[in-house]
Each structure stands twice: as structure tokens, then as C-alpha cells.
Amino acid sequence: MRLRGVILFAALAVSGSAMADPDNYVIGMRGRELTTVGDCVACHTAPGGASFAGGLALATPFGVIMTPNITPDDATGIGRWSKAEFSRAMHEGRGRNGAYLYPAFPYPYFNKVSREDTDAIYDYLRTLAPITNTVNRRTLPFPFSIRTLMAGWNTLFFKPAPFEPDPQRSAEFNRGAYLVQGLGHCGACHTPLNAFGANKPAQFLQGNRIDDWTAPNITNDPQAGLGKWSVEEVVQYLKTGQTRSTIASGPMREVVEDSTSKMSDDDLKAMAVYLKERGAAGRSAPAAIAASDPRMQAGAAIFTDTCGACHARDGTGVEHMFPRLAGDAIIKQADPTTLIRIVLTGVRGAGTDAFPTSPAMPSFGYRLDDRQVAAVVTYIRNSWGNAASAVEAETVNSLRSRVAGPVERSAAQ
Amino acid sequence: MARRLPRKDVVIVGLGWTGSILAYELSRTGLDVVAIERGPWRDTATDFNIGTAPDELRYAVRHDIFLRPKQETLTMRNNPSQTALPIRKWGSFLPGNGVGGAGVHWNGQTWRFLPDDFRIRSHMMQRYGDAIFPENHHIQDWPVSYDELEPYYDKFEYLAGISGKAGNIKGQIQPGGNPFEGARDRDYPTPPLKQGYAQGLFTKAATGLGLHPFPRPSANISAAYTNPYGCSMAPCTYCGFCERFGCANYSKASPQTCVLPALVREPTFEARTECEVMKVNLSSDGKTATGVTYVDRSGDEWEQPADVVLLCAYALFNVRLLLLSGIGKPYDPDKNEGVVGRNYAYQTGSGSTAFFEEAKFNPFAAAGSLGVAADDYNSDNFDHGPHGFVGGASITSAHTNGRPIQYHPTPRGTPTWGSQWKKAVASTYQRVTSVGAQGSVMSYRNNYLDLDPTYKDPLGRPLMRMTFDYQDNERKMANYMADRCDEIAKAMGAKQTQVNRLTGPWSVVPYQSTHNTGGAVMGSDPTTSVLNRYLQTWDVSNVFVMGACAFPQNAGYNPTGTVGALTYWSLDGIRKYLKSPGPLVQP
């Protein structure tokens, strides 16, 4: 014990310049909570790498961006950054030397975060152990490699504006709005992008396809959004990774595991109140495809053989284990990407302190061909009260080429 | 030379049911716990994927998840006059390997032993006198009573989500349950599985014969369940791939479904897989364990110091580790002295195969513990006076599977291959069922475990030698039960029955049961037991030993329910020890 204390002290002495005042426990803890809300660790950590040391390859429509090291390492991290420089990065999207950052770093959201909160995050990051990890920050191809282009982008799509609470709404609603619009940067995934990679403000939180996943509509829309969820269900989902009918998976699994499951109940409730009360928007539901349609008949047969044992023949699923397919919002999205992807590759659900099991669905891509996947997905999207567009084999094929291996012919025949 | 690692509070040898429960309960209180497991990590999502899990050739025939005899085997003989030879292919029993242990591949029958089972010696003596006991027996009372264990049985059943119907809640007999069971505080966490056609026939026939059938308690669970650790399970789909398989549906209670998801979140827990513990290290006076020495997968040797050592390997291998480590005095049958290896016991199987004229049993719609049972002939639920044997059996109608490679019963006299065999398989498959009796085995002077004088494992350590045979008492009991089974099978309407008796010496070749018990038994007297009532070794107070090796003799039931209850019971003792180290019972 004693020896360990001496070593720790030595480490503090050596890198003291890069550390927060060790007595500043309250600010450090507040900063840690805020860093969790922002889920900074998710992007700033490479697979198998040290937390916050960067190096994750973010695939954007314009090329790969490697996330930077935000540990307080002088040479490769933010060790030499001042509080003001950090705040400028968060609020204006500028690097330490003033260079333009790309909006893969969601400064269009973070500019809503108060200076007090960015300072607390800065203080917390300064308490981390400095990790030396050099990240190649020049991976984008020409012409996107020219950072000054972002000045034009900012002019077009970035209107810095601090968060303005709505005096007509409750403090809880405004707290939720502050978190969702700001540090939570929910819209970065859940809002459609224009051709320049900017979120379309008019369609805020109406759903988006990103990284070959569907980030669903999280407005209060009754068809594809949160319209049928209660505030309590939204909180339960964010806290535990699941509700009676669904389980977080894909990128949202990481958000829940790393971020929302560790947030305070009050903040989660505020976010839920905001999401539920801010209004509904989305496309109107199409009519369900008739059960007599040949694609539906083929899909029903595949479903019975392949899916029904777990998800139940009537699509009701099993609480805490196998999501309910009847009425599920992911299934009813206009964009079927997530549903197809899960059938092709399998997926693992979120595991949290409340529900640690993290149940998995296996991959069926190896034995269902594109036509079969299209049929079963079309069936799921149009059964038990669900209604959504049919899925074509070509759509499956195109996604398969990006996310899964080919079907094993012997198994499919 | 072993390199020494930093000390841990607790080292656990083997990460199956007992190891994972103890690891979770101890690490959640902040103790530094390391579990050392010689097999690989296993996980439902990655290892028992529904696309590949129901593979009878890979798992049931080629023993994919079982211990490889090359890792460790035993030598075997029927009696001390023979020379034991190594088991080169597992047959009569199938030890597990890897995280989850036998808790991965079990069928899932989760029984409580009966109150009389725990006081068998004193009870039988009182009711029948000394003459009832067989020659050379070592039958002894357990150092715990059913009533003491009841809350711990309850804990394990609620951990595992067991499906069943109570027969006795707080002394009130419950219709449809087992009227012979000890009083329980509450019903099972989930209702019984749905039974098949054969079970309906059995229930009617057995009731008509004056017996008391009930659905047997099952760890293949009937309904979705979330246990007190937060781990969730899904309802059984009756696929019939339970014994010898990991469950792909999260429906069979196992360390994977019930404990590991919570355990792996504990920051002070660490698992080291593919690491084989060589021995428990002792202080120079031999009274304290200082840790264990193990070999990792690269062949490097490590010493892991720890304050407490918990042996949680399979029953047989716990006994061998005690022998290899010099903990407790090895048993010597000649002098009838010593304790380690003493009172090895097993299980009997007998019954009746029933062939029907017109029936559709659909044996493939099955689960490892689907079935109904009657306990009228178990323990001392019937008058043993006229029969002259000790012990009993649970009598069962069950379909655990109808898998294509290994399940194809045919009437005796059918050729074993060729067109006649095929014809018989096809015409019999749907029309055959059975009534079985799983019986107790008492402990005897000449049924025991010790180290083999000749054969060694790849690490140079002596193999363990098993000396075992069924004795007349067991034959008498099992054959009496076979006749009872036959009566029921006939009453069910079978056109033809075939009685399966227990004859000849025990053979290691055909599969019979992986219910190996004893060898490190718990007791009140250090001259006839290795462990005190808290499963703490009498000789080394910081070593506790889990598992069925603690059973003084075996009852007419599967062991896992009692193993689970004893684990929670022992946990109380381990906690007491941690507060105030030393023997928990003064001899």
C-alpha cells in the first residue's frame, strides 16, 4: 500500500503541469458526469486502446477521420491546451492553433453547452493519466483534406448560438432540451444529413441512416417515433438499455452502456420529457402489405422456421431477452437498414447493471439469401399491426456487401 | 520454477456453478477474487449460437465441450484385487471442461434431497435396526439437516429460475406437487414445463396404482425469468438439445445464463482461463494454504498467493487436488483409516422400456428435465422392512431428447444394423417410451478414490484411481425399482415391455450418469470426513471444497440442487471465516 502511494505521488510530481488541482474533487466529478453525458469516450477511444487516447477511425461520407487523443499528454494530447482553447474547440470547432475541425466532432451541438460545463469537462480531462498516442489527423482525401474549406461550411450550416431556454416551458423540459441539443448531441445520429454532411435543422431528430444503421425517428411521432412510449419507458430504455418490448443494440447499445446508463435519473427524465413534449414529425404510415402477397407468404414461412422460436409466432418476443417485433419502432422506420442488418449479421443487446445479460441474436446471413432476407423483413414490417414499405432483394444485397459475408450456398439451398 | 504473482483475497479453482456463485458473492463485497479455470471461456452468444448449437455429432458424439482425456483422466477398476487401467474415452460419465463446467451440459433436473436423506443412518437405525445396513457400509448422517439447508435450496432455485410445482409449502401439502418433499418456504419461481403424451399416460397410470406423480423440477424453464442477480432467461422451446449441449436459447439455467453476466461486471473479479491448477500450496506446518500453483496455456508456471482457496472443480477433481496437495489424510481401505477418497459413490439406473401399439410420443419435443416423477419409492418413503435394502429411487417418465444419431430404441433382439434395424427404428421411434428409476448408491469400505501408482498426466502428476462397483444392496434396490417401473409401464398401456435391470459389474463404457459423489465428504467427525459442516477442510482452515464430493453417500436424485444449496450454505461459513479466520467447527 505504502509503496503504491509513493509511486502515485511521483507520477503527480512529474506531470503536475498537466493535472487539475487534485483537491478540486467536486469540479472533477461534475466534469466526469458531463463527459459521460457527452459520451466522449465512445469516439475518442480506439478498439482495444486506452480510454480517451483517440485513434478510432470514424467513417464519414467524405472519408475516414481518426479521432484525436484528448488525454492531457503534452505532445500527442491536449496537455498544452488552455481552458479557453478547449472552450473554443467545443463552441466554434477550432483546434488549438485555430485550424478548422471537421463536424464529425459535433461542435454544432456542443456550442450549446455552457462555458461553465465545458470548463468542468476540461478540468476532468486534465485529471486523466496522460497517454502518449500519436494519431494521424490527415486521413481525409483531397479536397476534404483542406481544413479551410470548413470556413465555408460553417458559414452555410453552422450558426453558433448559445442555448436559449424556452420561458414557456418547464425547467425540466429546458434541462432536457439543453442536454439533447447540446452535450448529448442526439441529433448527430438521429437527424437527416444534407449532401454536405450537415444535419437538416428542419428535420431535427426525425431519423437518419448512419454507418449502415438506422438511427430512428425520436420525435413524438406515433408511427415511427416515441409517440407510443411513456416518459418512464424512455427513461427505462436509456437507464437499463431496454423496455418491456425492445433492447438497445448497434451504436445505441454503446451509447446506453457508456453514457446514458450512467447518467442521473433526473437528467434522463428531463431528456425524456423534452423528447416527448417537443412535438411529432414523420412520414405518414403506408398501408400494410396484404398477407396474400407472395413476398409475405414466403416471409411468413421463413419467419416460422427461423425467428418464431424466440420472437414468438405472433411477434410478441420475450421480455428482457428477445425484442417484441409487433409495434416496434425500429421495424416501422421508412429505412429498413437496421432490421436487414440484424438479420444478416446478428447483434448483441445492451448489458447494464440493471439487466446485465446482453442477449444476442445470431447471424442468419450465412443461410438466408438476399431474396429470403427481403421476404422475411418485409413480412416482419407488415405483420401484427406493423406497416412499412416492402424491402427489395437489391437493398439487402447492397447492405450485405458492406456488412456481411456471402450466403453459403449449400446452406441456402 | 513458478513465478509469484501479487496476492489475491480469494482464489477459486474452477469456474462452474459453485465457482461462479462464490466469485460473484465475494467480489461484489469488494474482495479481490481470481478464478482459475483449465478450460476455455464459454459464452451463450458466441459458443452456443442457435445456428450451430444443435449439432449432435459435434457435441453429443464427439464430446466437444467435455474434458479431453488427454487433459485429465482416471484409472478405473471394480475392486482392490484388480489392476486399474486408464479411461481413454469417457463413457459412463462425462466431466465438463471450461467456464460453466458441467453446468453447461447438464439436463437441468434440480432436486432437493429429502429430509430423511440427510439423517439416513440414524433414521434407518431407529426404524429398522442395525440389520438393515449392508455389509462393509460407510453410511453416515450429513452434518446439516434439510431444515437448515431449506433457505439455501431456495436461493439456488431462485437463482436458476427452476420450473416446478411445490408439494409442501410450510407443512401444507399442495395438490399436484410431490407430497414427500421437505417443507419449503414458497413455490418454485416458475411453473412446471408442459408435459408430453407419455407423461399424461404415466400420471394416470401411477395415480391408478396409488402413487403420487408430479412434474419434476426443471432448470429448462417454462417462462421468462429474471433472477436476483439481474440475469434474464427465456422460456424453453423444447428443442431437446440440453444434455451434452450449451443452451442457445438462454432457457437452461447455467453459470452462463444465471451468474456470469453479473459476475463479469464486478471490477474486483478476474478469470484466468486455460490455466490448470497443479496444487494448493501449504505453509511449512501444513495448516494454512498460501495459494495455488498453476500452469498457463504456454506451459509457464505461476504461483498465485491468496488468503482463501476455494476448490470449485468437478467433484472428482477436487478430490484429486486434495490428494496432490497433501490436504487431509488419504483414505486407506486396508486399515479403514484416512478420509480423502473415502465414500466415493455413484447412481443406479434401471427401469422398463415400453413399446406401444398405437402411439405418437413425439420424443423430439423434449427438454432435459421435462418429465413427471413419483417419489413413493425414494428414500424411506416406503417400508424397507420386507426388502432388505437401504436407499431408493425417483421413478420417472421423461423424454429428454429424440435426436437422430443416438436416440433410436428398438426391441431386444433387433439386429444392430442393416435393413431390419432400419425398419425397426422407423416403426419404433414414435411408439416407444420408458419408465426409469434413478437410484441412490450407499458408501462402502471398498468404493473409494486414491492416486494411481502407475499412470500420470501430461504434467507428471499421478492420475486418480477409481475403485468402484455396485454392491448387492444397490442391485437389490435397483431391480426392485425396475419391477415397479414395469408395473407402471404396463398400466400405461404398453403392448410389450422390457425390464432393464442392474446386473453384472459396473462398466465404464456405456453412458450411465455423471453423478459422481463423495471422496471429500462433509461430516461431524474428522476421522470419517474431510470437511466440516461448512465445507471447510478440517486440516487447513482456509481451504473450502464445494461440490458433490461432499456427499457422504448419494441419494436417489440428481445432485445439482443440493450442490447449489451447499454452496450458498458454505458461503455463510466463508464469510464467517473472513471475519475471523480459523476453524469454524472445533473437532
DSSP collapsed to 3 states, B435-453? EEEEECECCECCCEEEEEE
CA-based nearest distance B546→chain A, Å = 26
Residue with cell string 456427499: B551
CA-based nearest distance B231→chain A, Å = 5
Angle at which helices A370-381 and A393-403 pack, to 10 degrees?
Answer: 110
B459 interfaces chain A, CB cutoff of 8 Å: no
How many Å apart are CA B251 and CA B258, to the nearest integer?
10
Cβ contacts (< 8 Å) between B226 and chain A: which residues? 320, 355
How many Å apart are CA A100 and CA B312, to the nearest integer?
59
pLDDT band at B147 (very low <50, low <70, confident <90, very high): very high
CA closest to B52 among chain A residues: A362
Quick one: cell of A22? 487534485
Is A318 close to B235, i.e. CB distance below 8 A? yes
Q: Give the pairing type, strands B276-282 and B289-295.
A: antiparallel
CB-nearest partner of B51 from A310, A320, A362 = A362
CB-nearest partner of A318 from B224, B261, B264 = B224
DSSP B198: H
pLDDT value of residue A356: 97
CB B163 within 8 A of CB B544: no
| Encoded amino acid at A131, one letter | I
* Phi and psi torsions of B422, nearest 5°: -60, -40
Quick one: cell of B260? 456470469
CB A208 within 8 A of CB A190: yes
Lowest mean pLDDT among A209-213, B219-223, B340-344, B460-464: A209-213
How many Å apart are CA B221 and CA B207, to the nearest integer?
25
Cβ contacts (< 8 Å) between B239 and chain A: which residues? 309
CA closest to B223 among chain A residues: A318
How many Å apart are CA B154 and CA B162, to the nearest integer?
10
**From start to end of B106-174, where are the E strands?**
168-169, 172-173
How many Å apart are CA A181 and CA A370, to the nearest integer?
39
Q: Give the pairing type, strands B289-295 and B301-311.
A: antiparallel
pLDDT value of residue A21: 54
The β-bridge partners of B86 are B75
CB A195 within 8 A of CB A251: no
| Encoded amino acid at A90, one letter | M
DSSP B270: E
Measure Cα distances from B382 to B127, B176, B392 in Å.
Answer: 12, 20, 9
CB-nearest partner of A320 from B51, B226, B262 = B226
Cβ contacts (< 8 Å) between B248 and chain A: which residues? 362
Is B49 close to A319, i.e. CB distance below 8 A? no
B237 interfaces chain A, CB cutoff of 8 Å: yes
CA-based nearest distance A257→chain B, Å = 12
Is A359 close to B239, i.e. CB distance below 8 A? no
Active site residues of B: 515
B50 interfaces chain A, CB cutoff of 8 Å: yes
Is B51 close to A310, i.e. CB distance below 8 A? no
CA closest to B49 among chain A residues: A362
CB B525 within 8 A of CB B339: no
Q: Is the pTM of this model over 0.80?
A: yes
For residue B519, how many other CB atoms are within 10 A of its CB?
34
CB A330 within 8 A of CB A380: no
* Phi and psi torsions of B75, nearest 5°: -100, 155
How many Å apart are CA A71 and CA A128, to the nearest integer?
6
How many Å apart are CA A281 and CA A223, to the nearest integer?
10
* Phi and psi torsions of B160, nearest 5°: -95, -5
pLDDT value of residue A409: 53
CB A216 within 8 A of CB A330: yes
Residue with cell string 455389509: B135
Number of residues that make up chain B: 587
| Encoded amino acid at B444, one letter | Y
How many Å apart are CA B280 and CA B303, to the nearest integer?
10
CA-based nearest distance B585→chain A, Å = 34
How many Å apart are CA B332 and CA A265, to the nearest integer?
64
Can you list the pairs that B579-587 forms with residues at least 24 positions away whose Cβ atoms lie under 8 Å? Answer: B581/B307, B581/B541, B581/B542, B582/B541, B583/B532, B583/B536, B583/B538, B583/B541, B584/B532, B584/B534, B584/B536, B584/B541, B585/B532, B585/B533, B585/B534, B585/B536, B587/B525, B587/B526, B587/B532, B587/B538
B45 interfaces chain A, CB cutoff of 8 Å: yes
CA-based nearest distance B369→chain A, Å = 19
Sheet of B372-374: strands edge to edge? B214-215, B372-374, B393-397, B432-439, B348-355, B496-500
pLDDT value of residue A285: 80
CB-nearest partner of A360 from B45, B257, B264 = B45
Q: Where are the alpha helices (DSSP H) in B141-254?
A: 146-160, 197-208
Q: Out of 2.40.110.10, 3.90.1300.10, 3.50.50.60, 3.40.640.10, which CATH number does the structure's domain B3-50+57-192+215-347+439-468+508-579 have? A: 3.50.50.60
User: Which of B42, B236, B250, B258 is best to mutate for the A interface (most A CBs within 10 A)?
Assistant: B250
pLDDT value of residue A329: 87
Domain ranges of chain B: 3-50+57-192+215-347+439-468+508-579
Is B51 close to A367, i.e. CB distance below 8 A? yes
B405 interfaces chain A, CB cutoff of 8 Å: no
Q: Where are the alpha helices (DSSP H) in B447-559?
A: 472-491
Total H helices, total E strands in chain A? 19, 6
Is A320 close to B232, i.e. CB distance below 8 A? yes
CB B274 within 8 A of CB B68: no
How many Cβ pairs closer than 8 A exist between chain A and B? 64
Taking the CA of residue A23 as centre, how many other CA atoms within 13 Å lie in the half-sphere pointing to its CB? 0
B229 interfaces chain A, CB cutoff of 8 Å: yes
Question: What's B316-352 look like in SS3?
Answer: HHHHHHHHHHCCCCECECCCCECCECCCCECCEEEEE
Cβ contacts (< 8 Å) between A362 and chain B: which residues? 45, 49-51, 248
Quick one: cell of A409? 450456398
Measure CA A101 to chain center.
20
Is B230 close to A318, i.e. CB distance below 8 A? no
Report the share of chain B in percent with pLDDT over 90. 98
**Span B463-499, pLDDT tens digits:** 999 999 999 999 999 999 999 999 999 999 999 999 9
CA-based nearest distance B134→chain A, Å = 49
Q: Where are the alpha helices (DSSP H) in B209-351?
A: 255-258, 260-263, 315-325
CB-nearest partner of A310 from B231, B234, B257 = B234
Cβ contacts (< 8 Å) between A344 and chain B: which residues? none
Residue with cell string 453429443: B60
pLDDT value of residue A150: 82
How many Å apart are CA B280 and CA B248, to the nearest integer?
36
Q: Give the pairing type, strands B214-215 and B372-374.
A: antiparallel
Is A356 close to B51, i.e. CB distance below 8 A? no
Taking domain A294-412, whether its CATH number is 3.60.150.10 is answered by no
Is B237 close to A351, i.e. CB distance below 8 A? no
Residue with cell string 477511444: A45
CB B273 within 8 A of CB B527: no
**Span B264-307, pLDDT tens digits:** 999 999 999 999 999 999 999 999 999 999 999 999 999 999 99
CB A355 within 8 A of CB B230: yes
pLDDT value of residue A411: 43
User: Which of B20, B48, B221, B232 is best to mutate for the A interface (most A CBs within 10 A)?
Assistant: B232
* Phi and psi torsions of A344, nearest 5°: -70, -45
Within 198-227 of B, beta carbons closer than 8 Å to A belong to: 224, 226
| Encoded amino acid at B49, one letter | N
Cβ contacts (< 8 Å) between A348 and chain B: which residues? 45
Is B265 close to A320, i.e. CB distance below 8 A? no
Which residues, 6 or more positions from B92, have their beta carbon under 8 angstroms from its beta carbon?
Answer: B506, B507, B508, B509, B510, B511, B512, B513
Cβ contacts (< 8 Å) between A316 and chain B: which residues? none
Is B232 close to A362, i.e. CB distance below 8 A? no
Which residues, 6 or more positions from A3, have their beta carbon under 8 angstroms from its beta carbon?
Answer: none
CA-based nearest distance B227→chain A, Å = 10
B228 interfaces chain A, CB cutoff of 8 Å: no
Is B230 close to A353, i.e. CB distance below 8 A? yes
User: Which of A239, A357, A361 is best to mutate for the B interface (most B CBs within 10 A)?
Assistant: A357
pLDDT value of residue A23: 56
Judged by DSSP in three states, A211 sits in coil
Is A357 close to B237, i.e. CB distance below 8 A? no
CB-nearest partner of A318 from B44, B234, B257 = B234
R_g of chain A, CA atoms, integer Å:
23
Q: Measured between alpha carbons, how far apart are the two ends of chain B, in Å?
A: 37
Regions of chain A where pLDDT drops below 50: 1-18, 20, 410-413
**Span B127-137, pLDDT tens digits:** 999 999 999 99
Cβ contacts (< 8 Å) between B237 and chain A: which residues? 309-310
Taking domain A171-277, whether its CATH number is 1.10.760 is answered by yes
Which residues, 6 or more positions from B453, have their beta carbon under 8 angstroms from its beta carbon?
Answer: B462, B465
